[in-house]
Structures are given as C-alpha cells and as structure tokens.
A and B are shown apart, each in its own frame.
Chain A
Amino acid sequence: MNETDLHFFIDSTVNYFEEITGEQAVTGIPYLKGKEPVVLDYSGIIGISGKRKGCVYITTTREMLKTLANIILDDNEATLETVKDLTGEIANTISGNVREAYGSSFMISVPVVIEGRAKDIRLPEHVQTFVIPITWKDFKSFLVVCLE
C-alpha cells in the first residue's frame, strides 16, 4: 500500500459524509496500526479480493451512527437494528466507491458487522495496516485499511 492508495480511501470517506450530511468529515494523519486495538461500538468489515487482497473496516460509536441514521431517514427514531446495519453500509459504500480508482477487479464482499467493543479485529500480520482517524461533527471514528 502506498500514499496514493490511502488518498483513495480518504477521498471516499470525506465524500461519503459530505454527500449524506452536507458536512465534511475531517481525516487525521494516517498511522500504522500497532498492537493496540482499534475498535469502537460498531465495526463494519469488508473483505477485498481480486487484484488487491485484504480488508477494510470502519469502526465507530453508537451516537455517531444514530445521528447519521436520523439524517438519512429524516426522523429521530433510529433503532439499534438500523444503527448496526448502517455500519455495514458505510463500509460497503466507502469500499465500493474506490473502484472508481481501482476498477472492477477490486472485488468487495458483503459487510460483516461486529457489535460491541471486541478485543480487536484480527488482520493479516504480514501486511501493513493503516488507520485513518475520522472526525465528523464531534464524533470520532476510524477507517482501517489492510491491503496487500
């Protein structure tokens, strides 16, 4: 993975929040994931296959998801089911949009959603994993990208 790859994911993430909410998300400086876990309340994981292999996940808080769901559905009644579902949908959209850069050989899986603060999400050890901090409104999230 190189800087260009990271930019594709950063652009896709910024575009997601801007398009849905009209408000830009701010991404922090990406860093290499170490041994410390990067897991918040809900995590949406997408497996990548084809020319590139690996996985991408977004991990975020229940509050951020509720706020976003209320905007998308234009009400104030986001259920836990909606919040969980939305985690997978964000991961799917961010990963699917980067096909604009990578093309159709960048295959994405359906999302898997993990609820609750797991100890960590296991990633391939031989591949560098980057963490992109995201701030939207006052909510913190992380996009984790692990690509061969």
Chain B
Amino acid sequence: MRARTKLLIVDDSLTIRQAIERNLKEFSLEVVGSTGNGKTALELFRNLEPDVVTLDITMPELDGITVLEEMMKMRNDVKIMVITALKDKATGLRAIQIGAKSYLVKPFTSEKLKAAFARMLGTN
C-alpha cells in the first residue's frame, strides 16, 4: 500500500492552520505537524520528513523566507506552498527562486487554496 503524502502546516495563525487542514482533507494527506513558529517548523521538518509544506512568511523567531531556504538546503525534493499576506511581487519571486512550488496570497477562499494545492501536486 502506498504511504499517504505527509503534510506540515506552518502559520502563526491558529485559525489559518485549522482552515488549511480542513480544506485540504479531500487530498487524503496525513498532517504530521502543525506550528506557528519558524524555528519549531525547522525542527518538525527535520524530524517528520514531510513531503509537502504550507509555509507562512511573517512569523515569530524565524521568518518564512529563512525557513524556506533552510528547508530547501535539507531536502530540495520537498513541495512547499508559501501562503502569506505579503502581496508584493519581489517577495513572491524570491520565494519561487529559492524553491517554493507555489505562492498563495491571503486572504484565500477554500476553492483557491484547493486549486493551488492541486496544481502543486499535479493532481488537477
């Protein structure tokens, strides 16, 4: 039996973490971790080896761009979707250059999140 895709959710908002988890249920993922702190995100990433990560940028202790760089250094096959309120092109471009597979700007509807996620996984 094929193992389920492992998801790590990183966002400093509890509401957003819950919304992401609920909206992505239909993808039959295994949510292996969830945190609101950039530093903890790196520890979870190292220990839980997720296949997919949703990653916020504005977070306490360590910002999402730094977290993204570190994650890509550890495993560049991981699929990372940045989900952030930062709507400027430079930040979006930077995230994609570092290795993010997708960049979704908040606020998002469940339809937009699911569509972007499906595109990233190549399941649409």
- Residues of A with Cβ closer than 8 Å to B? 15-16, 19-20, 69, 72-74, 81-82, 85-86, 88-89, 92-100, 102-104, 106, 108-110
Contact = CB atoms under 8 A, between A and B. Distances in A.
A100 B15 contact: no
Interface residues of B, number: 24
Given A96-B87, A104-B91, 7 more contacts: A15-B107, A20-B109, A69-B15, A72-B19, A88-B13, A97-B105, A99-B91
Contacts, number: 70
B91 A89 contact: no
Secondary structure type dominating chain A contacts: helix
Interface of B: 12-16, 18-19, 22, 58-60, 84-88, 90-91, 105-110
Contacts of B22: 73-74
For the residues of B in contact with A, the DSSP-based class is loop
Nearest first, the 10 closest Cβ-Cβ pairs linking A and B are: A96-B85, A99-B88, A100-B87, A89-B13, A93-B85, A85-B14, A19-B107, A104-B90, A97-B87, A96-B86
A82 B105 CA distance: 21
Contacts of B14: 81-82, 85
Nearest to B16: A89
Contact of A100 (B88, B106, B108): B88
Contacts of B105: 97
B108 to A, nearest CB: 7
Nearest to B106: A93
Contacts of B85: 92-97, 108
A24 to B, nearest CB: 13
A15 B58 CA distance: 20
10 contacts: A20-B107, A72-B15, A73-B18, A85-B15, A92-B85, A96-B58, A99-B91, A104-B86, A104-B90, A110-B58
